[in-house]
């Protein structure tokens, strides 16, 4: 195999129910503190479920001018905030050339839903004959990517992709390819989502996959997902360039693997995730023995958790029993298109801190879920290599692989 | 002196653009006030809501000055019989 360009992660940023930045998020993760709670919004009464991973302490006015708040839906606000943190964290010194050679790739499953909801309520319910003129620029799924390009004046390849719950992992995977292909020298990549609007919540309610209590991945008494919101963003650049500029390196983004189930629009298979995990390992030239942590997709649904467990067993064989696995969705909820990015940040912090975040709210394991899910309490462990899984509705799977940098 | 209708137009513009209303004169041009294309369509939307009128696209495209907006709203109101007040947002 020809040697591939190695890619480093030099900056991280995140905002979610866990906190408004990586530090706050880590405090929640390391303490196994679930941020799931009541949505506390009278407009959301009349739902069968009332809990979510809400970015409760987020105040847009602390981050944006009034005009910017007019122009950015909540999901794009999250993206810009997380990117600001990641860019600052990476210590990027912008030059004209670097701006031209920097790409932006974000994932979003549903775009500016709350903006769309307001417009639809206006015409469908209130009998108005028009919606606010900023509805389109706020709602479009690529708004976050566009706002990031404008914020930093970066003019390289920029796009958004949408694969439901795998959006962020697909985005990060594509970012890796942009760097390897030479199309960009730096990529700002991750995902963002703000899906807690009444119309969309009603749609989730109708799917009967949202838990009325909390998210208990892999547990016998799990009752479904808990929706979340937020963003995660990474700064990716060639390892040698990162080293040359003396950047702090969280880890190597060693590989990405993708697959399609081609089976059912919502029911997951085992074989699809197996193929994505194997593809990620192969892309990263990573052996099964190397992997010492998996951040699971772990949604807490009846469908995902046994299928994901079976997929991990099939790929890792007897080694599966020795690999600690956790679903941090138990703490931040399922942020759909942002999920993979929030979980990438969690994984990178776990690698840096040598502490594995737990699966919170853990009660009793489902007999069909018989791996080590790090129940409730974070566990000290040196992580040489980690995987982060995302398996979307629609059977679209994306797994990313991180490797610790040896000094 | 701006009359009541003009005052309400100025208030609407100030709200849309997030600027002090004192900054807005009848002689001000939208360009001088920093209105870009998105500000302008937002302004038209708010004016239509506030005054319960429908501003035609061709009129909207030709607006340059605040006093033109005031005159235009006055004409539209004169041409349109009072409709039922819109329900609150």
B57-76 pLDDT per residue, tens: 888 889 999 999 999 999 99
Q: Please indicate whether, in this complex, the C-beta atoms of A70 and B42 are within 8 angstroms of each other.
A: yes
For chain A positions 102-161, those within 8 Å of chain B (CB to CB) are 122, 126-128, 130, 132-134, 137
Q: What tokens does A384 get? A: 């040489």
Strand positions, DSSP E, A75-221? 102-107, 158-161, 186-193
CB A334 within 8 A of CB A54: no
The structural domains of chain B, ordered by start, are 4-79 (1.10.1200.10)
* 3-state class percentages of chain B: helix first, strand second, coil last, to nearest 5: 60, 0, 40
CB distance from B85 to chain A under 8 Å?
no
- What gap in Å lies between CA B70 and CA A324, rounded to an integer? 68
Average pLDDT of span A312-341: 98
Average pLDDT of span A181-202: 97
Tell me, what's the ipTM? 0.79
Q: What tokens does A359 get? A: 């699966």
Q: Please indicate whether, in this complex, the C-beta atoms of A71 and B38 are within 8 angstroms of each other.
A: yes
Query: Which candidate from B17, B38, B86 shows the least CB-CB separation from A134?
Result: B38
Query: Which candidate from A65, A126, A130 shows the least CB-CB separation from B87?
Result: A126
- What gap in Å lies between CA A327 and CA A329, rounded to an integer? 5
**Summary mean pLDDT of chain A:** 97
Strand A251-260 and strand A186-193: pairing?
unpaired
CB A172 within 8 A of CB A400: yes
- What gap in Å lies between CA A235 and CA A48, rounded to an integer? 39
pLDDT given at position A334? 98
State the nearest Cα–Cα gap between A70 and chain B, in angstroms: 9
Q: What tokens does B88 get? A: 């609150």
Q: Is the pLDDT of residue B1 over 90?
A: no
- DSSP 8-state class, residue A123: I
State the nearest Cα–Cα gap between B81 and chain A, in angstroms: 18
Number of other residues whose CB lies within 10 A of the CB of residue A313: 17
Chain B CB contacts of A134 under 8 Å are 38, 41-42
Q: Side by side, which strands form the sheet with A396-403?
A: A158-161, A102-107, A186-193, A230-238, A7-16, A251-260, A396-403, A385-392, A293-295, A325-326
- What gap in Å lies between CA A254 and CA A282, rounded to an integer? 10
- What gap in Å lies between CA A57 and CA A41, rounded to an integer? 14
CB distance from B37 to chain A under 8 Å?
no
- The reported pTM is 0.94
pLDDT grade for A1, boundaries at 50, 70 and 90: very low
pLDDT given at position B83? 56
Q: Is the pLDDT of residue B87 over 60?
A: no
pLDDT > 70 in chain A, percent: 99
CB distance from A70 to chain B under 8 Å?
yes
What digits encode the pLDDT tens for the residues A274-318? 999 999 999 999 999 999 999 999 999 999 999 999 999 999 999
Please count the CA atoms within 13 angstroms of the CA of B53 that sit on its side-chain side.
21
Q: Can you list the alpha helix ranges (DSSP code H) found in A153-297?
A: 167-181, 198-207, 239-244, 271-283
Largest CA distance in chain A: 64
Q: Is the pLDDT of residue A87 over 50?
A: yes
Q: Is the pLDDT of residue B79 over 70?
A: yes
State the nearest Cα–Cα gap between A121 and chain B, in angstroms: 10
Average pLDDT of span A221-237: 98
Q: Please indicate whether, in this complex, the C-beta atoms of B38 and A137 are within 8 angstroms of each other.
A: yes
- What gap in Å lies between CA A321 and CA A291, rounded to an integer? 12
CB A63 within 8 A of CB A81: yes
Q: What tokens does A150 get? A: 């404008």
- What gap in Å lies between CA A165 and CA A185, rounded to an integer? 27
State the nearest Cα–Cα gap between A403 and chain B, in angstroms: 45
The structural domains of chain A, ordered by start, are 7-244 (3.40.47.10), 255-402 (3.40.47.10)
Q: What tokens does A255 get? A: 């590989």
pLDDT given at position B82? 58
Cα dist. A301→A40, A85, A108, A276, A359 in Å?
24, 32, 21, 20, 14
Q: Is the pLDDT of residue A66 over 50?
A: yes
Cα dist. A7→A240, A344, A398, B52 in Å?
8, 15, 18, 57
Largest CA distance in chain B: 35
User: A334 catalytic, yes or no?
Assistant: yes
Q: Is the pLDDT of residue A51 over 60?
A: yes
């Amino acid at each position: 195999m020809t040697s591939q360009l190695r890619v480093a992660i030099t900056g991280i940023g995140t905002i979610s129910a866990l906190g408004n930045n990586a530090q706050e998020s880590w405090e929640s993760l390391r303490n196994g503190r679930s941020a799931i709670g009541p949505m506390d919004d009278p407009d959301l009464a009349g739902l069968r479920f009332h809990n979510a991973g809400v970015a409760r302490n987020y105040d847009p006015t602390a981050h944006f001018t009034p005009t910017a708040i007019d122009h950015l839906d909540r999901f794009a606000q999250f993206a810009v905030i997380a990117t600001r943190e990641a860019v600052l964290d990476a210590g990027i010194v912008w030059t004209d050339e670097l701006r031209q050679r920097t790409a932006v790739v974000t994932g979003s499953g549903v775009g500016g839903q709350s903006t769309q909801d307001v417009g639809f309520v206006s015409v469908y319910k209130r009998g108005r004959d028009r919606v606010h003129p900023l509805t389109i620029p706020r709602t479009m799924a690529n708004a976050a990517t566009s706002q990031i390009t404008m914020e930093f004046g970066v003019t390289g390849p920029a796009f958004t992709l949408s694969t439901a719950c795998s959006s962020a992992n697909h985005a990060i995977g594509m970012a890796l390819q942009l760097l390897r292909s030479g199309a960009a020298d730096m990529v700002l990549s991750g995902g963002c989502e703000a899906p807690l609007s009444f119309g969309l919540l009603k749609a989730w309610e109708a799917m009967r996959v949202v838990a009325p209590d909390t998210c208990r991945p892999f547990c016998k008494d799990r009752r479904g997902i808990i929706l979340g919101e937020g963003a995660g963003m990474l700064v990716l650049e060639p390892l040698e360039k990162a080293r040359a500029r003396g950047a702090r390196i969280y880890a190597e983004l060693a590989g990405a693997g993708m697959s399609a189930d081609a089976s059912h629009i919502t029911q997951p298979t085992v074989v699809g995730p197996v193929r994505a995990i194997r593809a990620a390992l192969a892309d990263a030239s990573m052996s099964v023995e190397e992997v010492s942590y998996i951040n699971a997709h772990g949604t807490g649904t009846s469908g995902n958790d046994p299928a994901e467990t079976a997929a991990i067993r099939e790929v890792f064989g007897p080694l599966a029993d020795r690999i600690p696995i956790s679903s941090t969705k138990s703490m931040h909820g399922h942020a759909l298109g942002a999920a993979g990015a929030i979980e990438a940040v969690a994984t990178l912090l776990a690698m840096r801190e040598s502490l594995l975040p737990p699966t919170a709210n853990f009660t009793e394991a489902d007999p069909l879920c018989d791996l080590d899910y790090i129940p409730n309490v974070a566990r000290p462990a040196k992580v040489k290599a980690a995987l982060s899984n995302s398996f979307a509705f629609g059977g679209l799977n994306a797994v990313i692989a991180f490797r610790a940098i040896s000094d | 002196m701006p009359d009541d209708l003009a005052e309400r137009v100025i208030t609407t513009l100030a709200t849309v653009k997030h600027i002090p209303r004192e900054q807005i004169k009848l002689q001000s041009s939208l360009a001088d006030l920093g209105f870009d294309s998105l500000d302008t369509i937002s302004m038209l939307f708010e004016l239509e809501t506030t005054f319960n009128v429908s501003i035609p696209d061709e009129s909207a495209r030709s607006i340059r000055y605040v006093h033109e907006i005031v005159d235009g709203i006055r004409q539209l109101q004169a041409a349109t019989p009072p409709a039922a007040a819109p329900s609150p947002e």
